[in-house]
Amino acid sequence: MIRAYGGLIKSTGREWIERRTLTREQVHTLLTDTLVVIVESTIGASRSA
């Protein structure tokens, strides 16, 4: 999951800085929301094991 999140960081950064198809706020929201979901699902999975 961490490697995939790293790829998301790289690609969204590229879309924001190079291609200007996303705003900084959009990138921030996308990355923050995704990280929260990853953390919550990881914690939830470890608690049910």
Q: Locate the domains of the chain by residue range.
A: 2-48
* Angle, CA of 30, 3 and 25, to the nearest 5°: 15
- Asked if residues 31 and 10 have their Cβ atoms less than 8 Å apart, the reply is no
Is 47's pLDDT higher than 80?
no
Q: What percent of the chain has pLDDT over 90?
A: 80
Is the per-residue pLDDT at 49 higher than 70? Answer: no
Cα–Cα distance, 8 to 15 (Å, whole number): 10
Q: Are 24 and 16 in contact (CB under 8 A)?
A: yes
Token code pair at residue 38: 């990853």
Report whether pLDDT(35) > 80. Answer: yes
